[in-house]
Structure 1
Amino acid sequence: MKGVVIAGTSSSVGKTVATLAVLRGLQTAGYAVQPAKGGPDFIDPSHHEAIAGKPSRTLDPWLQDRDGMLHNYHRGTGDICVIEGMMGLYDGTKASTALIADQLNLPVILVIDASAGMESVAATALGFQRYAEHANRDITVAGIIAQRAHGGRHEAGIRDALPDDIAYIGRIGPDTALEIPDRHLGLHLGSENPVPTDAIDNAAETIDIDSIAEIAATAPITPISKSSKEHTQRTNTSIAVASDQAFCFRYPATIEKIKDQAEIIPISPIASDPLPDCDGIYLPGGYPERFGAELQASDTLAEISDRAADGIPVYGECGGLMALAESLTTADNETYSMAGVLPATVTMHDRYQALDHIEVTAAVDGPTATTGTTYRGHEFHYSSADTASDATFGFSMDRGTGIDGTHDGLLEYNSVGTYAHLHPETGAFDRFLSYCTQ
């Protein structure tokens, strides 16, 4: 599968809209596309899926290591993989779009805000191209997309100023229909506020899709250099997976991992679904704070509490941790009772409490790790958890904030609640699935 990276000069430059336009344009031209997202984000991929009709792959060399990232890339299907980068091209302390493009050996299309520039847009592109050598990144800035650019003299001035080895791929004109509303944790999800298809179609019309396909075709396919970490032996295990607007942050590879080994039974705690017979329960991240009343009244959470007390393994990830706590207090100072599995009370704040790539080491054996295991992950949360004085933690923080600055992975019964988002390439979900079969 060939590929191309859609990078930006900075955050909020319009990478997501440009990526959607490229995906749509390639589809219209008859190509089978595979969307992907550089970095640990859950929200941008939801917009990719709304356009492409298939899950967007997560590509992050910190979460997955290089070989794990290659493995995840090659699990995609299609003619061309379109990868939306993270932040600006070179930004990121532990992972960056430039590093992803380098390790995957893929060309870069740079998105530049051209709303107030012409020749300076070309100067910016040239600077980003030449900076690669200084940054020790073996990447090619092959072309640009001029975001928020008009046609006529504006477009011509940008195109004519570019050096010969940086292609003018096209422009995306100013259009309020292309604006995606945001909230804490990022943009609205694609399932909630998808960008209108006709607006994306209009944007794609001013992009040279043939040039995108030609640039993608120049990239050699980087092979997988390791044996897969996956354990594909099928078991009779069944895992209840929370899947609704409150629990919607999960990597496609996580679902694939569970499906490889067990049966998935989707449940909706906000709809108060009956909890089925199962061997384990997975509560991914999301927005439980938006559904406090529904979760407080949820028979599902009440049943999860009972099952957890009986010893069923439960894995709560960020939003899942919040739902497993004793209570959740929103930023509006409304307090709701939660499942009460974990000895903690959770409070939402107006400002994020942690945002970074992290590294943790298991302090004890638990549902997701054995003692001494080190995992890399990501955390991004607006809530804080106040834990009981005798609380047991599964992880010590080597990098990041976790629950109390030095620990994460709150343990009770056979349940764990953590702020860490872990990718299945770490092995955490293999451990959890194995734990569920004991």
Structure 2
Amino acid sequence: MKGFVLGGVSSGVGKTVATLAIVRTLADAGYEVQPAKAGPDFIDPSHHEEIAGRPSRTLDLWLEGEDGLRRNYARGEGDICVVEGVMGLYDGDGSSTAMVAEALGLPVVLVVDAEAGMESVAATALGFREYADAIGRDVEVGGIVAQRAHGGRHEQGIRDALPEALEYFGRIPPSPDLEIPDRHLGLEMGEEAALPRDALQDAAETIDAERLAAVATEPPRPETPVEAADAVDATVAVASDAAFCFRYPATIERFRERAELVTFSPIAGDPVPHCDGVYLPGGYPELNAEDLESAGTLSELGDRASEGLPVLGECGGLMAMSQSLTTAEGDRSEMAGILPADVTMHDRYRALDHVELEAIEGTLTARAGESIRGHEFHYSSANVGRDARFAFETVRGDGIDGDRDGLTEYESLGTYVHVHAESGGFDRFLESIER
């Protein structure tokens, strides 16, 4: 599958809107489009899926390694893969957009804010193209999409200013309808704040689908072939609702490939399914804390965990496994009570980084002494009991207390870190809960 990377000159330049418009214009031209996201994001991919009609792939060198990155890309379906970048093109030491483009050998289409410029837009794009050589990265910036650019003289001025080495692929017109609301963890989810289809269609019509299709290239195949792993005799129950919505598609794929998968909604009060283990992904438990407390599912889950049912929680899942959750406004709700911790939300984020953990002892996602890589981004802190047991030391990142992560109680584990299926963590989880 051919593809290209949509990089930005900075965060906030409008990469997500440009990605959605490009997906739309390619689909209108008859191409099957596979969306993807560089970096450990859950929110932007939800918008991709709303428009493309298929899950967006997560492409992160730190989380997956180079071969894992290529395997995850190769699992995609379609004619063209559109990879939305993270932050600015060269920003980030763990897995920048440029690093992902280089690992996959894909060209970069640069999103440049053109609201108040013409020649300066071309100068900016040329600087991004030449910077790759200056730092020794094999990254090809092939052209631009002009964000917030008017038509007529404005558009023509941008086109005329571009050097021959840079193609003009089109523009995203300025429009208040092409703005996605945000909140403390980023944009709102795709199903909550989908862009108006007519505004997105108008933007799609100002982009040249055939030029974009022509610039796409085929990445190298992974060294390790894409094959389904051996099945395990286990059923895993995955919480899935507005409180637990941060999960990588590759994780769900791995569960379905290797085990039986069932889903349930703690917000709706669904009973905990008959299963061998439970996965509580991240999400927004703080926005649904009262419903989670009153529904009763978390209380039942706490009872089941105390009887030995393994529960794995990541970030929001850790919060739900705690004794209590207090919002930034001071409202306190009882949670599952599995872990000896009380969680409090804050107005500013408490951690944001690629993370490396080393297992102190064998746990649900790693054997003793193994390292596992992931990502953390949260606005909460956990006040843990004096007798709390930790499964990991933090080699990189903040974890729960700055030095450690992974609270463990009974047969359960709660961590602030999100890991990808290519890390091996979820394979270890499935093998741990096998009957």
What is the TM-score when the length of structure 2 is the normalising length? Answer: 0.99
> Which letter does structure 1 place at the counterpart of 2:224?
K
Paired position in structure 1 for 2:4: 4
Paired position in structure 2 for 1:321: 318
What secondary structure does 2:353 align onto? strand
Superposed CA deviations along residues 200-225 of structure 1, whole A, max 9, x for unmatched, are 11001001111000001xx2431111
Superposed CA deviations along residues 378-419 of structure 1, whole A, max 9, x for unmatched, are 000000001011110000000000000000000000000000
Paired position in structure 2 for 1:104: 104
Distance 1:322 1:277 in 2: 23
What secondary structure does 2:164 align onto? coil
Paired position in structure 2 for 1:19: 19
Distance 1:232 1:137 in 2: 34
Gaps of 5+ in 2: none
1:277 and 2:274 correspond: yes
What is the TM-score when the length of structure 1 is the normalising length? Answer: 0.98
> Which letter does structure 2 place at the counterpart of 1:11?
S
Paired position in structure 1 for 2:91: 91
Deviation at 1:231, TM superposition (A): 6.2
Paired position in structure 2 for 1:407: 404
Deviation at 1:48, TM superposition (A): 0.1
Superposed CA deviations along residues 21-61 of structure 1, whole A, max 9, x for unmatched, are 11000101000010000000100000000000000000000
> Which letter does structure 1 place at the counterpart of 2:102?
D
1:31 and 2:28 correspond: no
Paired position in structure 2 for 1:140: 140
Q: Is the 8 A contact 1:132 1:138 kept in 2?
A: yes
Gaps of 5+ in 1: none
CA RMSD of aligned residues (A): 0.9
Paired position in structure 2 for 1:260: 257
Distance 1:150 1:302 in 2: 55
Equivalent of residue 368 in structure 1, options 365, 368, 393: 365
Superposed CA deviations along residues 347-383 of structure 1, whole A, max 9, x for unmatched, are 0000000001011100011111110110111000000
Paired position in structure 1 for 2:197: 197
What secondary structure does 1:169 align onto? strand
Q: Which moved more, 1:131-140 or 1:233-242?
A: 233-242
Distance 2:144 2:259 in 1: 44
Deviation at 1:126, TM superposition (A): 0.5
> Which letter does structure 2 place at the counterpart of 1:190?
G
Paired position in structure 2 for 1:223: 221
Deviation at 1:64, TM superposition (A): 0.3
Q: Please give the residue correspondences for 1:14-413 in structure 2 after superposition, counting only pairs within 5 Å.
A: 14-216=14-216, 219-227=217-225, 232-413=229-410
Superposed CA deviations along residues 253-309 of structure 1, whole A, max 9, x for unmatched, are 000010011111110000010112110000000000001111111221111111101
Deviation at 1:145, TM superposition (A): 0.5
Distance 2:295 2:391 in 1: 28
Deviation at 1:227, TM superposition (A): 4.6
Paired residues, what number? 435
Superposed CA deviations along residues 155-200 of structure 1, whole A, max 9, x for unmatched, are 1111000000100111111111110000011000001111111111
What secondary structure does 1:297 align onto? helix
Q: Is the 8 A contact 1:231 1:430 kept in 2?
A: no
Distance 2:56 2:169 in 1: 23
Distance 2:78 2:347 in 1: 41
> Which letter does structure 2 place at the counterpart of 1:300?
T
> Which letter does structure 2 place at the counterpart of 1:243?
S
> Which letter does structure 1 place at the counterpart of 2:230?
Q
Distance 1:271 1:22 in 2: 36
> Which letter does structure 2 place at the counterpart of 1:196?
P
The runs of at least 4 consecutive aligned structure 1 residues that moved more than 6 Å come to none
Superposed CA deviations along residues 312-364 of structure 1, whole A, max 9, x for unmatched, are 11000000000000000001100000000000000000000000101110001
> Which letter does structure 1 place at the counterpart of 2:244?
F
> Which letter does structure 1 place at the counterpart of 2:266?
P
What secondary structure does 2:83 align onto? strand
What secondary structure does 2:267 align onto? helix
What secondary structure does 2:383 align onto? strand
Deviation at 1:233, TM superposition (A): 2.1
> Which letter does structure 2 place at the counterpart of 1:176?
P
Distance 2:335 2:219 in 1: 48
Q: Is the 8 A contact 2:238 2:279 kept in 1?
A: yes
> Which letter does structure 1 place at the counterpart of 2:256?
K
Deviation at 1:235, TM superposition (A): 3.2
Q: Is the 8 A contact 1:149 1:155 kept in 2?
A: yes
Deviation at 1:135, TM superposition (A): 2.0
Superposed CA deviations along residues 224-264 of structure 1, whole A, max 9, x for unmatched, are 11255x76222331111000000000000000010011111
